[in-house]
Amino acid sequence: MNNIFSRLQDKTPTPLSSAPSNHPAPITSIFSLRTILWAIIHCAFYFTQQLAELLAPLFLIVGIGWSFLPHTLQELGQKLASAEPQASHLAEPLSHIIPSEITISHYTLTPHGLIVDGLLLMLLAAIGATVSALAAREL
């Protein structure tokens, strides 16, 4: 038993240079701050990319459909009126069923505006993918 205690008492202290430090090295904290910053940027641009990829096709399809529908209904009404002269009173309001613009809380939606918004969202998704890939490379 004495042999064990003598070994514990003979243990030499560790040198000061190899002792654990309570303060992280400045380079390590800069790298961790940089990693956190790039992770936030990556998250923000990836979220923006996902949102833009979700909404862009919706805006494009609705805008294109909305722009073609009045023309299609007008031609349908003209063919209906030419095929059946008595149905001309039914064909007249067909071209005016679909509005050319909708105003919601001081924001006017038009078919052309939805198409442009869809294309801009596609551009935003491409920019988001590029910045997200760059941020992922920096991580």
Domain range for 93 is: 34-98+109-139
Is there a domain that residue 13 lies in?
A: no
pLDDT of residue 113: 94
Phi, psi of 53, deg, nearest 5: -70, -25
Q: How confident is the model at residue 82 (pLDDT cuts 50, 70, 90)?
A: confident
pLDDT per residue as tens digits for the range 15-70? 555 555 566 566 677 778 888 888 888 888 889 889 999 999 999 999 999 999 88
Domain count, the chain: 1
Residue 127 lies in a domain: yes
For the question of whether the overall pTM of this predicted structure is more than 0.75, the answer is: no
Q: What is the mean pLDDT of residues 74-101?
A: 77
66: in domain = yes
Percent of the chain with pLDDT over 70: 74
Please enumerate, as own/partner, the contacts of 130-133 that have beta carbons within 8 Å and a separation of 24 or more.
131/41, 131/45, 132/42, 132/45, 132/46, 132/49
